[in-house]
Chains A and B, each alone.
Chain A
Amino acid sequence: MRKTVFNGTALPLLLLTPQLVITAIFFLWPAGAAIWQSLLQEDPWGMSSQFVGLRNFTEVLAEPEWRGAAWNTLIFSSSVAVLAMGTALFLAVQADKSIRGANIYRTLLVWPYAVAPAIAAVLWLFLFHPSIGLVGRALNEAGVAWDYKLNGNQAMLLVIVAAAWKQVSYNFIFFLAGLQSIPRSVLEAAAIDGAKPVRRFWTIILPLLSPTAFFLLVVNLVYAFFDTFGVIHALTGGGPGKATETLIYKVYVEGVQNVNLGSSSAQSVILMILVIALTAVQFRFIERKVHY
């Protein structure tokens, strides 16, 4: 590829301006405000504010509720990522086969991605609500004590499944594209050498899919960390007790419901650091094992 070299700095800067402005307004400014706010103690009305250094951070980290939310986030995010990617990979492998009407299946499988998180949550609510949900009622009639409004484990299971369901479509598209870019000749050669489908999958398809899988792992974890607010809010509101309160949900509860801005900002700064660290670790260590 030929490199374009600009004369002077004015034009390149001008061309970069839109991106820089967007980054500044939508990332640097709010992130900076959050960091500043996390060092203050303020009344809800913003009439008195006092610099308290890192006190908000030490208080947050000492809270048993925060540690509970961190643990929930760990369980929730890893489960969502594993479930969403596993299901998507399975479906993609099936849809990649030459079957009748493959295009229809593919289209149908992509649909849930277009559903907004809150709507998705309401769909699941109508299925699994213990007294108005179709499946929920059936479970209770079949003798299973299903009540996610009171049983923390059932609530966690439900938000995991609902959040993963929404992400399956996205993963499916990428896995399917990844599968289709694997050269047929390699697979045919393996088949001629006597490798059965399962063996072909583990020794050829999976290694060749690893860049896609790695990319999806990062995307899914970020999704589970940040974008699942709507699902949790509409399904369980973090309850029962605090059984489904994740870190991002706790930031909302603290900042928006309780108008406790110092603590909420400190929590979002911690979250920001965690996600930066997580992504750095993924690129540093896991990426090495990926074949491009």
Chain B
Amino acid sequence: MRRRFLAQASLAAAAIAAARTRPAAAQAPVEIQFWHGLPQPLGGQLEGIVAAFNATQQGVKVMPSFRGSYPETMVAAIAAFRANAAPHVVQMFEVGTGTMMSAGRAVKPVHELLAESGVSIDFNDYLPAVRGYYQASDGRQMSMPFNSSTATMFYNKDHLRRAGLDPDVAPKTWEELAEALKKLKAAGIASPMTTSWPAWVQVEQVSAIHNLPLASLGNGFDGLGATMQVNNPVMVRHMDNLIAWQKDGLFKYGGRDNAADALFPAGEVSITMASSSLRARLLRESRFAWGTAMLPYYSDVAGAPRNSIIGGASFWALNRGPAGGRSAAEWKGVAEFYRYLSQPEIDAKWHMDTGYVPVRRASYQVAKSQGFYEKNPGTEVAIEQLLRGGETTPNTRGIRLGGYVEIRNIIQEEMEKSFQGQQNGQQALEAVMQRANTVLRNFERQNRG
């Protein structure tokens, strides 16, 4: 009760302050609060798009606000919702998708929002791997795809040359990669390979590329009752390989999340696997020739390689609080904002400016027609990898598991224990299954009601 009063009081105060600064217009524009989690320079580029949108509008104004890292933005939005002061739109990283999908009436699904506002967006033109990640299992669009990336491999051409390898041909399979790592080591590179985002790249992507389930029920798309299925022979083999390579000094564990990003531009490692958006940093910091290639696969796995899955974030429309409370004009404003973002020209510009992938085929064409890929070799690798193998399968659509932020940390923790020599691949994956399933059951219990 008291909390609600405080929230209302602060809202009222904010409204008064806002009213005072506004010129005495006949009708004040509807304000749309928009929270995002992109630090500079990306955040500034995003806010530039918002400003351009505002310039095209009379009745609506989007107010962007940076709320810290993705996880911090997510927690801030949840807390604001509980205090009846949620933003209209929040940018949520892909890991939080499962949590958002189960948020029930906290969330205004995109398909509902567009239908009510009479705005249409052609989602069929969106890349399947992007659109599918943010769809309900029946194909209805739940959130608005925006900045998407995927994982790619970056390699140091100078190092490859030094090891007597062809600098223009990157290893395609894990078998070839293992050979290359040995040669690089023999050529005096202390630790030839590392990986950023260990859980995303070495577990989620490896599962998708080999068309293997990460969890049952289509990686959780078909219900909250999903259980983890990572202890399959391919994952066990891959984990054992990483452990062995770490022991032999071929692979260096560089830390959780994107902590390993720094190792490649510094020239410490020859090969890294990281978000395709690492490109911007490499352009700025690397003092050597480097190339981009698709993630490797095991050549003896039938059906591999398939498309990789995306990372990045999408936009979610939120109700103000548990009691609802948005006007039709506000929803209409959000819908107009989404329509603006969906334009291929806007999306293509964002892609070319930042290194995220274009989320629509039409935007890909725009970038192509401008000669972007000839001028910037390597930038098309991420999109080609997302489109590899045709339509997505239930194993390559993405991941829809509640509490997945926690599960990713569990995966990283168990990998760390393996690299310390405490357990082998099978034991690590069994531990992941057991701990992650507890998280999934808790989430299911919390969201049943």
Point out residues on A near B: beta carbons under 8 Å. 41-48, 50, 65, 131-132, 149-152, 237, 239-242, 253, 256-260, 263
Contact = CB atoms under 8 A, between A and B. Distances in A.
The 10 closest A-B pairs by CB, nearest first: A48-B449, A240-B416, A46-B82, A258-B406, A241-B417, A43-B446, A45-B106, A241-B416, A241-B413, A149-B255
Contacts of B82: 45-46
Interface stretch (B96-104, B114-122, B225-233, B343-351): B96-104
6 contacts: A45-B82, A149-B253, A150-B253, A242-B413, A260-B403, A260-B442
A258 B446 CA distance: 13
Contacts of A259: 75, 78, 99
A257 B71 contact: yes
B420 A241 contact: yes
Interface string B134-145: 000000000000
A142 to B, nearest CB: 15
A158 B413 CA distance: 19
A240 B420 contact: yes
Interface centre among A50, A253, A259 (most CB of B within 10 A): A259
B105 interface: yes
B153 to A, nearest CB: 21
B268 A131 contact: yes
A239 B416 contact: yes
Nearest to B263: A131
Of the listed residues A44, A50, A132, A257, the one surrounded by the most CB atoms of chain B closer than 10 A to its CB is: A44
Nearest to A263: B442
B172 to A, nearest CB: 29
B81 interface: yes
Interface centre among A45, A131, A257, A260, by most chain B C-beta atoms within 10 angstroms, is A45
B260 to A, nearest CB: 10
B238 interface: no
A149 B412 CA distance: 12
B416 A46 contact: no
- Do most interface residues of chain A lie in helix, strand or loop, or is the interface mixed? loop
Most buried by A among B71, B81, B416, B417: B416
A256 B74 CA distance: 10
A262 to B, nearest CB: 8
Given A150-B420, A237-B256, A41 B446 contact: yes
Contacts, number: 81
Given A41-B445, A45-B81, A45-B103, A150 B416 contact: yes
B347 to A, nearest CB: 30
Interface string B69-86: 001000100100110000
B75 to A, nearest CB: 6
Contacts of B106: 45, 47
B10 interface: no
Interface in B210-247: none
B420 A43 contact: no
A239 to B, nearest CB: 6
Nearest to B406: A258
Contacts of A151: 420
Contacts of A65: 435
B57 interface: no
A256 B447 contact: no
Interface string B18-33: 0000000000000000
A119 B256 CA distance: 21
Nearest to A50: B449
B337 interface: no
Contacts of B34: none
A51 to B, nearest CB: 12
Nearest to A256: B75
B406 A257 contact: yes
A180 B159 CA distance: 64
A150 B419 contact: yes
Contacts of A239: 256, 412-413, 416
B408 to A, nearest CB: 10
B322 interface: yes
Contact of B405 (A47, A240, A258, A263): A258
A57 to B, nearest CB: 15
Interface centre among B99, B266, B413 (most CB of A within 10 A): B413
A44 B420 contact: no
A78 B105 CA distance: 48
Given A45-B78, A257-B409, A259-B78, 17 more contacts: A43-B103, A43-B447, A43-B449, A44-B103, A44-B446, A45-B81, A45-B103, A65-B435, A150-B416, A151-B420, A239-B416, A241-B416, A257-B406, A258-B405, A258-B439, A259-B75, A259-B99
B409 to A, nearest CB: 8
Given A151-B420, A241-B416, A43 B253 contact: no
B403 A258 contact: yes
B446 A42 contact: yes
Interface string B412-435: 111011011010000000000001
Nearest to A47: B322
Among A47, A132, A260, max chain B CB count under 10 A is at A47
Contacts of A45: 78, 81-82, 103-104, 106, 322
A149 B105 CA distance: 41
Nearest to B447: A43
Nearest to A42: B446
